[in-house]
Structure 1
Amino acid sequence: MKNLSWSALFFASLLSLISFASQAADENRYGHQKVVYHINYDDAKKQSSTLRNIQNHINAVGEDNLDIQVVLHGNGLSLLLKPEALKNVPKFKAANADTQMKQKIDQLKMQGVRFNVCANTVKGREVNVERDLYDVEKSSIVPSGVAELAYLQSKGYLYLRP
């Protein structure tokens, strides 16, 4: 009987160890990732879906295992364009930085996601960054959205355009 209880204890311990090892393997499944998300479309639903994809990505991999950058150019800048600014920038059809979108952007930024804005779009569409865009600092403006995408890919970032 004594041997049976030791065997049961050993078997239970072994199962716990296997379960723990399996869980640890799942947590490290993806390792560290560098990813650039590309947004150059002005559809608010699609932009919101992309932000949800980014959050799901963070949830799966963990913010400590991710370096995520978002590059916005052309119509994609509408993600950060304040609705009241639409009258100032006639070269845009949409301004999607409403309260809900701002909350999603803020949540992602708090998790380390960086949003990069194309200087060519800002200049070409006559956008006043301080007045028209939501929470964009000078350090977030890159010379060219397309060039930034190529640069980040050359630095090992994986390209995603949901």
Structure 2
Amino acid sequence: MKLLSKAALIAAGVAVAASAYAVDPSKPAKNGYMQQKVVYHVNNIHTAKGALRNVKNHLNALGDENIEVIVVTHSSGAFAMVDGAMGKKNKKGKVYNFNDQIAGLANRGVKFTICANTIRGKKIPKDKINENAEVIPSGVAHVAHLQQHGYLYVKP
């Protein structure tokens, strides 16, 4: 009987441990995807517009309630977080407005960050930082930190 009790305890322990890593099947996202936590790494202003489009498409694919997105900006990518940042004109002559895109994504739950090292190094005035952006000590360190906490890494 003692042997059976030990086996039952071990089996129960394994079941509890396994459940900590199980995905809740009652919470599937849209299109068959499971819930996700994602960090988008943006370190180049020339890829920032595409990165924000990727974030929007990612949200659309899973549904806002099924995804947690953090956009980490540093180096020239941080300039997307500066108020008044504008992209190049498109074929129709319309200028891409980063502020509008960031505000729209923030309203959908996306979190934006900007690296303090970049702010100092590029001499970005603090009063020009987009209101939706949180200042973090280091962009690169923050990306690694988020990966350590289960965020999937995307580099557009």
TM-score normalised by length of structure 1: 0.68
Q: Conserved in 2, the CA contact under 8 Å of 1:70 and 1:116?
A: yes
Task: Count how many residue pairs are aligned between Structure 1 and Structure 2.
Answer: 123
- Equivalence for 1:63: 64
The amino acid of 1:133's aligned partner reads I
Q: Give the distance between the partners of 1:99 and 1:56, measured in 2 at CA.
A: 17
DSSP-derived class of the 2:153 partner? strand
Any unmatched runs of 5+ in structure 2? 1-27, 88-94
Q: Give the distance between the partners of 2:124 and 2:31, measured in 1 at CA.
A: 43
Q: Give the distance between the partners of 2:29 and 2:131, measured in 1 at CA.
A: 36
- Equivalence for 1:37: 40
- Residue 28 of structure 1 and its aligned partner are, at CA, apart by 6.2
Which structure 2 residues correspond to residues 1-162 of structure 1 after superposition, within 5 A? Answer: 27=30, 29-43=32-46, 46-83=47-84, 95-96=85-86, 100-130=97-127, 132-136=128-132, 140-162=134-156
Aligned CA distance change for structure 1 residues 57 and 125 (closer, same or farther; 3 Å) = same
- Residue 29 of structure 1 and its aligned partner are, at CA, apart by 1.6
TM-score normalised by length of structure 2: 0.71
Which structure shows the higher helix fraction?
Answer: 1
Any unmatched runs of 5+ in structure 1? 1-24, 84-94
The amino acid of 2:73's aligned partner reads L
- Residue 32 of structure 1 and its aligned partner are, at CA, apart by 1.0
CA RMSD in angstroms comes to 2.3
Aligned CA distance change for structure 1 residues 136 and 55 (closer, same or farther; 3 Å) = closer
Q: Give the distance between the partners of 1:158 and 1:113, measured in 2 at CA.
A: 15
Which structure shows the higher strand fraction?
Answer: 2
- Residue 99 of structure 1 and its aligned partner are, at CA, apart by 6.7
| Identity between Structure 1 and Structure 2 (%) | 38
